Structure formats: C-alpha cells, structure tokens
Structure 1
Amino acid sequence: MNKLLQGKKGLVLGVANEHSIAWHIAKKCWEEGAELASTYQNEKTLRFVQPLFESIGSKFYHEMDVTREDSVQVVMGKLREHFEGELDFIVHSVAGGPKKGELEGRFIQTSRQGFMDSMLISVFSLNVVLKETLDMLRNRDAAVMTVSYMGGERVVTNYNIMGVAKAALESNVRYLAADLGREGIRVNCLSPGTIKTRAASGIGAFNQLIEHTAAHSPLRRNATVDEVAKASLLLLSDWGSGITGETIYVDAGFHITGVDLPIEEEKDRG
C-alpha cells in the first residue's frame, strides 16, 4: 500500500524540540513517505533540533529569521536549489512576539511593540514564506497548513495578544486560500487543543488550563500531539484535496462546549 505522502517534498517551519507540535507533524509526514526540509529559529535551537532532523534523514535544515525578509529569501533560495524548484506542502508552526509578562494580567496593557511583533511573527511570516515559495508550489496541487489555537476564536485567560494574533492568522488563511486557489494551492489551519509544549509554557496558569479542558471536553480528556499530527495528514495529503480555507479543531471537542454543569444521572426507578 502506498504511503499518503510518498514522493512529496515538504517544508516544516517551527520545530523547536522533540515536544513541539511541528516536530510530531514532521515525523508523521516522514513516516508517510515525505522528503522533508526544515528551518529553525537560531543557533541555540540547533542543538535540540539537529538530532531530530538527522533521525528522519533530512538533508536540509537552516536557521531562518522570519522577521527578516532577506533571511527568508536566502534560505528559500537554497531550498529551491535543494528541491530542484519543486515543493508539495508547507507546515507553518511559527508563533511568538509578546514581551515578557504580556501573556498575564490585563490585555489592555499589551505594548505596541508586543502587538506588532506578535502579528509579524505569528501571522505575516506565513505570507513572507509563501511569496518566496510560490513558484515551487504553483500547479502542483500543493497544500499549506498553519497552526492556531481556540484562543483565536474565544477568550482564554492569559492568552491575550496571542489570541488576537491567532484570530488574524485564521482570517489570513481564508484570504490566502481564496487568493491562491486558482493556482492549485490549498491553505488550511489546524487548531490543536491544550498540549504541553515549550511555547505553551509561557501561558500563565497553564496546568490549570490543561486540567479544565480535559475535564470539560466531550471526550473528557485532551487531544494528544500524535492525534494532531495524524490530523495534519488529511490537510497535507491528497485525501484533503477538496478542503481549503478551513480551521479544523483537534481538541477532543472542547471548542464546542458552552456551560457544562455536572448533572447526576437519574436513577432507574424500576
């Protein structure tokens, strides 16, 4: 039986360590036959990610600063040579920007720079990468996937500016899908539930958030990172060929809940 991504070439952005969602997606794509290229944030990150890239036989991994268009241009130029001008999918799992303490306390206290950086890193970075890879993706039934969170749709305590950025990211996906569909490029968003990652550690009272979402989701647990990675295969493979502009939740159903009161089951009166 053929693997879902056999013969496809993919780029994964945002691998930070072995716990990151981007890494689990990358590994799952590799298991399904994809040839992968990756970027990492800086030299400090390299010592964590290099063994991961090597474990899946990746021959292309470069440092890239998504806030600098010249950095993106240089690395994507090298990628064009490496993949001989062909690219079948992109996984964008990049987020950041808030200043220290801006994911706690009052949202109104968000700094101008923190707001701008969050939008640049978490949202516009997708556009910058797509502009530099468009010639590689065009007319290949290509797939682009980014990663959001429920805080982009509903208020989540201590998520603050990142919630606003995720809302912008999801809207960005819809506009990109409409713009690039004529060239055979699908653009979608995956919205995982509450999962322990390095990025999530910056959210105040995160352990309480994990306990709350597990207790109140329809499945009475949190989704796993492996479940998120498996869901990504739908959006990146030919199985999702008719899906674009969507945000798909993988959160054990938590996003559908409203008021979830504990109701005792009525005893059988016989």
Structure 2
Amino acid sequence: MALISLEGKRGLVTGIANDQSIAYGCAKAFRALGAELAVTYLNDKAEPHVRPLAEALDAALILPCDVRCDGELERVFASIRQQWGRLDFVLHSIAFAPREDLHARVVDCSGAGFALAMEVSCHSFIRMAKLAEPLMSEGGCLLTVSFYGSEQVVEHYNMMGPVKAALESSVRYLAAELGSQGIRVNALSPGALATRAASGINRFDELLQRTAEKAPLRQLVTIDDIGAAAAFLASDAAQKITGIVIFIDGGYHVID
C-alpha cells in the first residue's frame, strides 16, 4: 500500500470548471496522496469558479488555458518548466463540441464543428503529450477522459462518439511511442454522471437513470470514484500499466 502515494510528484490538472467537475475529483485525490499541483482555468469568466478550488488544493500554479488560443497551452508548460523543471503526470479533462453539431445526427454534423470538437477534445491531448515529454525525463503518466460512447452507440451522444474513439486510439499510439521513455498513457472512462459538460448532451437525465438501473452495481459513479482511479494510475503502483481505457462505471460497459 505504500506504493499508493504521490508524495514528491508534480502534476498538471486541466479541465476544472466547478466543484462537480471530473477534473476536480481527480485533483482532490492527487492532492490527498501528496502531489503538488498546477491547475488551469479556461478564461476570465471561469477563473472566479476555479481559483478558490485551486487555492484550497494549495496549487503551486493557477494558469489560464484555452487550447483554442494560440500559445496559451505552450505558456502553461513554459511556466511549469520555470517553476518546477519537471513534470510527473498530466490530466487532460477537456472536451467541446458546438451545441448545434452535438445535437444533430452524426451524418448531419458540420465539417467545422467536427474539426473543432476534434481539436479541443482529442488533438489537444496529443499537444499536451508533446509538451510534457521533455519534462518527463524520468518517466511520467498522461491521463485523459473518455466515455463508453466511443465504442458503443449511446443515444444522443452523437458526434462525440467518433471524437472519443479517436481520443482512445491516440492513447494507444502515444503509449507505444512514449513507453520507451517510461511515460505511461491511459484513459479514464467514467460512467454517466452529472457535470456541466454532460449537461450539453440532449436528454442526459435519461442516460443517468438508465445507467443507474442497468449497471451491475446499481449506482452512479462520483467524481471521487474517478479521482481514486486517476490517482492510482498516476502512482508508482501502476508503473506497468499503459495504453488502456479503464472503466469506472459500476460495470455498465459489460451490459448490452
């Protein structure tokens, strides 16, 4: 059990929007196990909601990061290099799709909307991996967040299904490319839970109810459940685990 510790490790957490965010559940778990954190917020509008949470976590760095803005992600990693000189883990927990495209059939989504969803939800993880690589000279862990709709059709998940499938494929390729440097790459796949991001999915309340009824454990997951899994994967206890998608969904993924 001594291996389940993040003492002495430093990590970047992206994607906290409020105290119900998956990223916040993960950040709490990282910090509880001793990690030092850098935390990002999307923009000036989001900062008042995120900064108090980051300060409560004693975050060493609290930085703006909109991956759509040129140079902003690069400035985050430059600040980490200046402050710490190294990095042990990264949590990528950001996704976006224009509402009109997300609510449309996949066959009807626009090229521009699909490209934007891929850029924010998938390619930004690849960019983070590239920027983190030189800071992980002694190995590290890259984590992202997916969903079951990547491999099975989930009603109303629509275009985010193909986008998350691309994200999971990226996890496998990055794991293969970075493994020789001791950098592990994995995805968390939580079951349905009420977050601000999920609220954009049409009739999401029905998915929550269906998940609670069909999951073998008959319970919805919490951000703390997801945080526990993330902290394990970031720890030395998971040092031989890479290239996987780990489900934290009460077993829902095994049910048709």
Please state which band the TM-score falls in when normalised by the shorter chain.
over 0.9
Match for residue 237 of structure 1 among 235, 238, 256: 235
Aligned residues: 255
Check the 8 A contact 1:53/1:61 in 2, yes or no. yes
Q: State the distance in 2 between where 1:245 and 1:74 align.
A: 28
SS at 1:101 equivalent:
helix
Please identify, of 117-126 and 56-65, the stretch whose mean Cα deviation from structure 2 is larger. 56-65
1:89 is aligned to 2:89: yes
Amino acid at match of 2:57: I
1:120 is aligned to 2:119: yes
Q: CA deviation at 1:103?
A: 2.4
SS at 2:99 equivalent:
coil
* RMSD, matched Cα: 1.3
1:37 is aligned to 2:35: no
Match for residue 227 of structure 1 among 225, 228, 232: 225
Which residue pairs with 1:263 in the alignment?
Answer: none
Q: CA deviation at 1:158?
A: 1.2
Q: State the distance in 1 between where 2:56 and 2:71 align.
A: 29
Which residue pairs with 1:109 in the alignment?
Answer: 108
Relative contact order higher in (CA < 8 Å, ≥ 6 apart): 2
Describe the superposition over 1:68-106 as per-residue Cα deviations: whole angstroms up to 9, x where unpaired.
Answer: 4522222211111111x111111110111x222322242
Please identify, of 230-239 and 197-206, the stretch whose mean Cα deviation from structure 2 is larger. 230-239
Q: State the distance in 2 between where 1:108 and 1:194 align.
A: 24
SS at 1:160 equivalent:
coil
Which residue pairs with 1:46 in the alignment?
Answer: 47
Greater than 6 Å deviation, 4+ residue runs? none
Query: Percentage identity across aligned positions?
Result: 43
Check the 8 A contact 2:10/2:37 in 1, yes or no. yes
Q: State the distance in 2 between where 1:43 and 1:68 align.
A: 13
Which residue pairs with 1:262 in the alignment?
Answer: none
Q: State the distance in 1 between where 2:222 and 2:115 align.
A: 31
Which residue pairs with 1:261 in the alignment?
Answer: none
Q: CA deviation at 1:240?
A: 0.5
Describe the superposition over 1:20-47 as per-residue Cα deviations: whole angstroms up to 9, x where unpaired.
Answer: 0001100110010000001111111101
Describe the superposition over 1:155-197 as per-residue Cα deviations: whole angstroms up to 9, x where unpaired.
Answer: 1111111111100000000000000001110000010000100
C-alpha change, 1:208 and 1:10, in structure 2 (3 Å) is same
Describe the superposition over 1:219-248 as per-residue Cα deviations: whole angstroms up to 9, x where unpaired.
Answer: 122222211111112211011111000000
Which residue pairs with 2:132 in the alignment?
Answer: 133
Unaligned runs of 5+ in 2: none
Which residue pairs with 2:160 in the alignment?
Answer: 162
Describe the superposition over 1:134-159 as per-residue Cα deviations: whole angstroms up to 9, x where unpaired.
Answer: 11112x23111110000111111111
Q: State the distance in 2 between where 1:68 and 1:170 align.
A: 24
Which residue pairs with 1:182 in the alignment?
Answer: 180
